[in-house]
Amino acid sequence: MQEEFNEIFLKYHEIITLGVYGTAIGLMLIGLYAILTKKNLVKIVIGLSIFDAGIHLLFVGIGYVKGGTAPIFSPGYENAGNRMVDPVPQALVLTAIVIGFAVTAVALSLVIRLYKHHNTAKIDQIKSLKW
Protein backbone atom coordinates (compact mmCIF):
# COMPACT_ATOMS: atom_id res chain seq x y z
CA MET A 1 0.00 0.00 0.00
CA GLN A 2 2.62 2.46 1.07
CA GLU A 3 4.94 1.50 -1.76
CA GLU A 4 2.20 1.84 -4.29
CA PHE A 5 1.44 5.26 -3.07
CA ASN A 6 5.06 6.27 -3.23
CA GLU A 7 5.23 5.09 -6.78
CA ILE A 8 2.24 7.13 -7.73
CA PHE A 9 3.68 10.05 -5.94
CA LEU A 10 6.93 9.88 -7.82
CA LYS A 11 5.22 9.40 -11.13
CA TYR A 12 2.85 12.31 -10.83
CA HIS A 13 5.03 14.43 -8.61
CA GLU A 14 4.64 17.60 -10.64
CA ILE A 15 0.92 17.27 -10.95
CA ILE A 16 0.50 16.66 -7.26
CA THR A 17 2.71 19.62 -6.44
CA LEU A 18 0.71 21.74 -8.81
CA GLY A 19 -2.48 20.39 -7.36
CA VAL A 20 -1.66 21.18 -3.77
CA TYR A 21 0.15 24.46 -4.21
CA GLY A 22 -2.07 25.52 -7.08
CA THR A 23 -5.22 24.87 -5.11
CA ALA A 24 -3.88 26.68 -2.10
CA ILE A 25 -2.65 29.71 -3.99
CA GLY A 26 -5.77 29.65 -6.11
CA LEU A 27 -7.93 29.69 -3.01
CA MET A 28 -5.97 32.58 -1.64
CA LEU A 29 -6.36 34.56 -4.83
CA ILE A 30 -10.06 33.79 -5.05
CA GLY A 31 -10.47 34.95 -1.49
CA LEU A 32 -8.56 38.12 -2.17
CA TYR A 33 -10.60 38.76 -5.28
CA ALA A 34 -13.78 38.48 -3.27
CA ILE A 35 -12.46 40.79 -0.59
CA LEU A 36 -11.37 43.40 -3.05
CA THR A 37 -14.26 43.47 -5.46
CA LYS A 38 -17.41 42.17 -3.81
CA LYS A 39 -19.59 44.83 -2.34
CA ASN A 40 -21.58 42.69 0.00
CA LEU A 41 -20.16 42.48 3.48
CA VAL A 42 -21.05 38.84 3.88
CA LYS A 43 -19.29 38.01 0.66
CA ILE A 44 -16.25 39.84 1.87
CA VAL A 45 -16.28 37.79 5.04
CA ILE A 46 -16.60 34.66 2.95
CA GLY A 47 -13.65 35.90 0.93
CA LEU A 48 -11.66 36.23 4.12
CA SER A 49 -12.50 32.68 5.05
CA ILE A 50 -11.46 31.40 1.64
CA PHE A 51 -8.22 33.34 1.84
CA ASP A 52 -7.54 31.80 5.23
CA ALA A 53 -8.41 28.38 3.94
CA GLY A 54 -5.81 28.76 1.22
CA ILE A 55 -3.12 29.52 3.73
CA HIS A 56 -4.20 26.64 5.93
CA LEU A 57 -4.00 24.32 2.99
CA LEU A 58 -0.49 25.52 2.27
CA PHE A 59 0.42 24.80 5.87
CA VAL A 60 -0.78 21.26 5.64
CA GLY A 61 0.84 20.89 2.25
CA ILE A 62 4.33 21.89 3.23
CA GLY A 63 4.25 19.50 6.17
CA TYR A 64 3.94 16.53 3.92
CA VAL A 65 6.90 14.22 3.61
CA LYS A 66 7.16 11.76 0.81
CA GLY A 67 5.93 8.43 2.09
CA GLY A 68 5.30 9.73 5.55
CA THR A 69 2.66 8.47 7.93
CA ALA A 70 0.58 10.35 10.45
CA PRO A 71 2.69 11.47 13.36
CA ILE A 72 1.05 9.21 15.87
CA PHE A 73 2.95 6.44 17.54
CA SER A 74 0.01 4.09 17.55
CA PRO A 75 0.63 0.42 18.15
CA GLY A 76 2.64 -0.90 15.25
CA TYR A 77 4.22 2.42 14.47
CA GLU A 78 6.37 2.74 17.56
CA ASN A 79 9.58 3.13 15.60
CA ALA A 80 8.20 5.02 12.65
CA GLY A 81 9.65 8.29 13.83
CA ASN A 82 11.76 8.75 10.76
CA ARG A 83 8.94 8.24 8.29
CA MET A 84 6.39 10.54 9.73
CA VAL A 85 5.20 13.76 8.20
CA ASP A 86 6.12 17.01 9.81
CA PRO A 87 3.81 17.43 12.82
CA VAL A 88 4.58 21.09 13.44
CA PRO A 89 2.59 22.64 10.58
CA GLN A 90 -0.35 20.48 11.51
CA ALA A 91 -0.25 21.74 15.06
CA LEU A 92 0.11 25.27 13.84
CA VAL A 93 -2.72 25.01 11.40
CA LEU A 94 -4.97 23.83 14.18
CA THR A 95 -4.31 27.05 16.01
CA ALA A 96 -4.64 29.08 12.85
CA ILE A 97 -7.99 27.52 11.98
CA VAL A 98 -9.42 28.25 15.38
CA ILE A 99 -8.22 31.81 15.19
CA GLY A 100 -9.65 32.15 11.71
CA PHE A 101 -12.95 30.87 13.00
CA ALA A 102 -12.95 33.40 15.82
CA VAL A 103 -12.21 36.22 13.41
CA THR A 104 -14.97 35.12 11.09
CA ALA A 105 -17.44 34.95 13.94
CA VAL A 106 -16.58 38.46 15.08
CA ALA A 107 -16.77 39.68 11.49
CA LEU A 108 -20.23 38.23 11.05
CA SER A 109 -21.47 39.80 14.23
CA LEU A 110 -20.14 43.12 12.98
CA VAL A 111 -21.95 42.59 9.71
CA ILE A 112 -25.16 42.03 11.61
CA ARG A 113 -24.73 45.26 13.48
CA LEU A 114 -23.74 47.19 10.41
CA TYR A 115 -26.76 45.91 8.59
CA LYS A 116 -28.99 47.01 11.42
CA HIS A 117 -27.36 50.38 11.68
CA HIS A 118 -27.09 51.31 8.02
CA ASN A 119 -29.84 49.12 6.68
CA THR A 120 -27.56 47.96 3.94
CA ALA A 121 -24.77 45.48 3.55
CA LYS A 122 -22.94 47.24 0.76
CA ILE A 123 -19.47 48.22 1.80
CA ASP A 124 -19.29 51.27 -0.42
CA GLN A 125 -22.40 52.69 1.18
CA ILE A 126 -21.06 52.41 4.68
CA LYS A 127 -18.77 55.40 4.69
CA SER A 128 -19.83 57.61 7.50
CA LEU A 129 -16.24 57.73 8.71
CA LYS A 130 -13.96 59.26 6.20
CA TRP A 131 -11.24 61.85 5.65
Partner 1 sequence: MKKVLVIILLVIIGYFLAETFINIPFGENRIGDINLEKPTAAGYYLSNTTEKSKVANVITAIVVNYRGLDTLGEVTVLFLATTGIASILYRRKEEEENAETERLSLPSSNIVRSGARVLFPTIALLGIYVFIHGHLTPGGGFQGGTIVATGFLLMLISYKGFNTNHNRMVWIESLAGLSFIFLGIWGLISDNTFLGNIPEVGKLNSLISGGLIPLIYIAVGFKVAVELTGILDILLKIKPKK
Partner 2 sequence: MNIFFLIILIFFSGAILSFIINKIAPKFSGITTFITIAVVVFLFFTQIEINSITQFSLGGIQMQFGVNNYTYIFAILVLGLSLLASLYSIKYMQNNDRLGYFYSNFILTVTGMLGIIFSRDFISFFIFWEIMTWSSYLIVLYNGKHSSKSGMKYMIFSAIGAYAMLTAIVSIKGSYGTFIISDAIQQGAFNFSENIYIPIMLLIGFAVKAALMPLHVWAPNAYSKSPMSFTSIFSGAMSKMGILGMGLVLASVYSQTTNDNTFSVLVLKQVLGWLGGITAVMATIYALIQTDAKKLLAYSSVAQLGYIIVGLSTGTKLGVMAALFLAVIHAVFKGALFMVAGAVEKQVGTTDMTKISGLIRKMPFTFFTALVSIIALAGIPPLGGFVGKWMLYEALITESNNYFLVIVIFFSSTAAFLYSYRFLFGLFLGQEEKETEHVKEAPVTMIIPMVILALILIVTGAYPGILFEPIAHGMHYLGFSDVNWDMSVLVNVWGEESNMAYINLSIGVVFVVVFLFLTIKGYKGTKNVGTKDISTSGEIPTENENLTFQLDFFKPFERAAAPLYKRSMDKIWNDLGNALEAIFDFTRRIYTGNGQTYALFVIIFLVILLIFKNTLFTN
Partner 3 sequence: MVITPIHYIIVPLIAAFAIPLISKIHKELYRIVPGIVMFYNIIISFVLMKEVNEVGYISEIIAGWEAPWGINLIITPFSGFLVSLISVLGFLIWLYQYRFKKVIDVGEIKSYGIMQMLMITGAIGIIITGDIFNLFVFMEIVAITAVSLTSFYRGRDGAEAGFKYLLIGSFASAMVLLAILILYTQVGTLNMAEISERMHLVPQGIKATILILFIVGFGIEAELFPLNGWAPDAYSQAPGPTSAAFAGIVVKAGIYGLIRIIFTLFDIDGAFDFLIIAGLVTMIIAEFSAVKQTNLKRMLAYSSIGQMGLVLIAFGIGTKEAVFAALFLMFNHAIIKSLLFMTGSILMYNSKDKTILSIHGIAKKLPYVSILFAIGSFAIVGLPPFSGFWSKLYILTAAANKEMILLIIAILAVSIVEIVYYFRVVSKLYFAEDTEHIEIFKPSINSLIAMGVLAITIIVIGVYPDLITGYLHNAADMLLDKTSYIKFVLNNNVQIQ
For residues 7 and 22, which CB has a smaller minimum distance to partner 3 in the complex? Answer: 22
Query: How far apart are alpha carbons 54 and 48 in whole angstroms?
Result: 10
Indicate the length of the chain as a whole number: 131
Distance CA(35)–CA(58), nearest Å, equals 20
Which residues, numbered 82-121, are part of the site for partner 1 (CB under 8 A)?
A: 82, 84, 86-88, 90-92, 94-95, 97-99, 101-103, 105-106, 108-110, 112-113, 115-116, 119
- The phi, psi pair for 105, rounded to 5°, reads -60, -45
- Partner that binds at residue 124, options partner 2, partner 1, partner 3, none, CB closer than 5 to 8 Å by kind: partner 2
Range 104-110 contact pairs with CB under 8 angstroms and sequence separation of 24 or more? 104/45, 104/48, 104/49, 104/52, 107/45, 107/48, 108/42, 108/45
Stretch that binds partner 3, among 3-11, 15-23, 77-85, 100-108 (CB under 8 A): 100-108
Spatial separation of the C-alpha atoms in residues 21 and 110, rounded to whole Å: 32
Binding of residue 3 to partner 1 (CB under 8 A): no
Binding segment (CB under 8 A) for partner 3, from list 6-14, 15-23, 73-81, 111-119: 111-119
Interface ranges with partner 3 (CB under 8 A): 35, 41, 44, 48, 51-52, 55, 58-59, 62, 88-89, 92, 95-96, 99, 102-103, 106-107, 110-111, 113-114, 117-118, 126, 128-129, 131
